[in-house]
């Protein structure tokens, strides 16, 4: 079911500072900031040869990243995104095994313009998992 790792997401309290750290200190290529109001985040992608790192900053009071940063004020790893060929088939297969899909269970459009779903971290050893259809 799982394809390659699409990205690893890191929640940060200051997106501009984190972006500058990856770009200026580590010499990485970074994207422009992109607001995703439907997900409650602003994102920047650090582009690497074999994957991406997604830097997430809260967007709005109801952002799920705000609660994460309340518990982890310096930031930290938020989720891992894996690619899947068919997100609905993956959802149905996972649900049949008892894995919990967060939200309504219907895919939303993610930062790459493709359907995404999130899986409950308690079902995957404390790790929030995002699935992205490719």
Interval 23-46: pLDDT, tens: 999 999 999 999 999 899 999 999
Tell which residue, 27, 65, 77, has the closest CA to residue 47: 27
Q: Which two tokens stand for residue 115?
A: 């359907």
Chain-centroid distance of CA 24 in Å reads 23
70 neighbors 61 (Cβ within 8 angstroms)? no
Delimit the domains of the chain by residue range: 5-133
Which tens digits make up the pLDDT trace of 40-81?
A: 999 999 999 999 999 999 998 889 999 999 999 999 999 999
Q: In Å, how far are 22, 39, 58, 113 from 43, measured between CA atoms?
A: 14, 10, 9, 13
- Rounded CA-CA distance 34/120 in Å is 25
- Could you tell me which CATH class the domain 5-133 is placed in? alpha beta
130 among known catalytic residues: yes
* CA-closest candidate to residue 81, choices 5, 134, 12: 5
Of the chain, the end-to-end C-alpha distance in Å amounts to: 12
Select which of 47, 49, 54, 130 is catalytic.
Answer: 130
Report pLDDT for 80: 98
């Amino acid at each position: 079911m799982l394809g390659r790792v699409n990205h690893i997401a890191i929640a940060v309290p200051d997106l501009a500072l984190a972006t500058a750290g990856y770009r200026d200190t580590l010499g990485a290529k970074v994207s422009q900031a992109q607001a995703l109001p439907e997900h409650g985040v602003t994102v920047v992608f650090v582009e690497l040869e074999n994957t991406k790192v997604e830097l997430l900053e809260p967007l709005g009071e109801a952002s799920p990243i705000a609660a994460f940063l309340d518990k982890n004020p310096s930031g930290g790893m938020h989720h891992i995104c894996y690619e899947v060929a068919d997100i609905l088939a993956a959802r149905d297969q996972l649900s049949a095994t008892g894995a919990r899909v967060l939200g309504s269970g219907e895919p939303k459009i993610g930062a790459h313009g493709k359907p995404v779903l999130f899986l409950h971290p308690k079902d995957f050893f404390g790790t929030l998992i995002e699935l992205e259809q490719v």
